[in-house]
Amino acid sequence: MLTLDKFEEASEAVKKVTQETKLIYSDYFSEQTGNKVYLKPENMQFTGAYKLRGAYYKISTLSEEERSRGLITASAGNHAQGVAYAAKCFGAKSVIVMPTTTPLIKVERTKNYGAEVVLYGDVYDEACEYALKLADEKGYTFIHPFDDLTVATGQGTIAMEIFQELPLVDYILVPVGGGGLATGVSTLAKLLNPKIKVIGVEPAGANCMQVSMEKGEVTTLPEVNTIADGTAVKRPGEKTFPYLQENLDGIITVEDSELIVAFLDMVENHKMIVENSGLLTVAALKHMDVKGKKIVSILSGGNMDVIIMSSVVQNGLIARDRIFTISVLLPDKPGELVRVSSVIAEQKGNVVKLEHNQFYSTNRNAAVELRITMEAFGTEHKKQIIKALEEAGYRPKQVRANL
């Protein structure tokens, strides 16, 4: 049972390994939504995510014999680091099975905490199946990342801290993968204040909890497809599902494109790196049909591969019309490039890249193609630049930006 006594016990235990992640009031998101928005920055934990809470508390409750056999788990990254770090604290061996698609930064950090890493399968569910097989073969103690009530109790300590800082919170938004974090947070929140609303947020391409809730039973998705790798789970937990049925007040699904824009918002307005799974609750703010409420968005983690980060930033700039590309046809004669550049410069556009294709037409005197990738302040500025080019006699055509 998830009881208040156990949550209090877990809260004291996790203080030994967690950093204080005080709520951050967001002027930007509050203004955007008409609510009072607070961020719970679990991306600032030592291992880069909240998962250390559940892993450490679970391992602290094991017997010496269970720990001495060695610990094993499956994870897309954050739980892996939590188990590896917690195991190191207790002097226990840890083996982590991770999907082959796991970002390199999560694999390397897990190894750095002393864990043995095995890469297997394309998604978490396949890695988990293999980890359970290894546990049976070698006698390891399995630490489930979400379908374990003790682990969920450790994750729920986040809610205890939220209430200590913001007793009158109205809504808590919590990311959902397998459901461990949502189970702990929603259960403790309801114990402390039955009137509070706890909303789970899933990627649209991995909405196993939403489907399961609608069907009234744990359901497996045929496949998952999302950039939110930390929540790319086909099937939610069996043990935790009844708690979620009772305590979750709803599920919001978020498209990957919304996460890309949310990343840009977080970097520019809060100077924080939050991984795609952690941004689910930020993207969900725009889906909330409420005003004047105190809302806490849990930022579950910040372990993001630099290459993925670069791609997300570029796509975010394109989505916001901060970067765009146009195609312009010009006569192939001296001075035309300067003339086009002058029009763009007068409108304060900043050219990022030029591609001059003389072989666009067999009649070079009739037309060559100039593709211009440029930076703008946003949609209105982009329209202003395109309008100026049209007034100068050109017929600019917007094409897919390619950085």
pLDDT tens digits for range 350-398 = 999 988 776 666 565 667 888 999 999 999 999 999 999 999 988 999 9
* pLDDT of the residue at 337: 85
Task: Name the residue with tokens 């290894």.
Answer: 134
What residue spans of 71-166 are helical by DSSP H? 78-89, 104-112, 124-138, 149-155, 157-165
Phi, psi (rounded to 5 degrees) for 133: -65, -45
Under 8 Å CB-to-CB from 160, ≥6 apart: which residues? Answer: 7, 8, 11, 188, 192
Rounded distance, CA 337 to CA 340, Å?
Answer: 5
Is 300 marked active-site? yes
What's the CA gap between 151 and 77, in Å, rounded?
16
Which structural domains are found in the chain, ordered by start? 4-50+154-316 (3.40.50.1100), 52-142 (3.40.50.1100), 321-399 (3.30.70.260)
Cα–Cα distance, 169 to 290 (Å, whole number): 14
Provide the pLDDT for residue 224.
92
Cα–Cα distances in angstroms (integers) from residue 388 to residues 80, 81, 295, 326, in the given order:
54, 53, 43, 13
The per-residue pLDDT for 76 is: 77
One DSSP character per residue, 148-191 reads: -HHHHHHHTHHHHHHHHH-TT--EEEEE-SSSHHHHHHHHHHHH
Cross-strand partners of 25 = 38
> Rounded to the nearest 5 degrees, what angle is found at the Cα of 243, between the Cα atoms of 229 and 146?
30
In whole angstroms, give the CA distance from residue 141 to residue 118.
Answer: 16
Q: What distance, in Å, lies between the first and last C-alpha atoms of the chain?
A: 53
Distance (Å, rounded) from C-alpha 243 to C-alpha 174? 15
pLDDT number for residue 364 = 58
Q: Residue 165 half-sphere exposure, CB side, CA atoms within 13 Å?
A: 17
pLDDT at site 361: 63
Is 51 designated active site? yes
Find, among 59, 120, 119, 121, the residue nearest to 84 by Cα.
Answer: 59
pTM for the whole structure: 0.87
Give counts: helices (H), strands (E), the chain: 17, 14
- Taking 70 as the pLDDT cut, the residues of the chain under it are 358-366, 403
The whole-number pLDDT of residue 307 equals: 82
> What is the C-alpha separation between 212 and 221, in angstroms, rounded?
9
Between CA 286 and CA 291 the distance in angstroms is: 11
Out of 26, 94, 277, 300, pick the active-site residue. Answer: 300
Identified catalytic residue from 6, 11, 40, 51? 51
**pLDDT value of residue 335:** 84
Q: Which of 110, 118, 108, 123 is nearest to 138 (CA)?
A: 118
pLDDT of residue 365: 60
pLDDT in tens, 99-156: 898 878 788 889 999 999 999 998 888 999 999 999 999 999 999 999 999 999 999 9
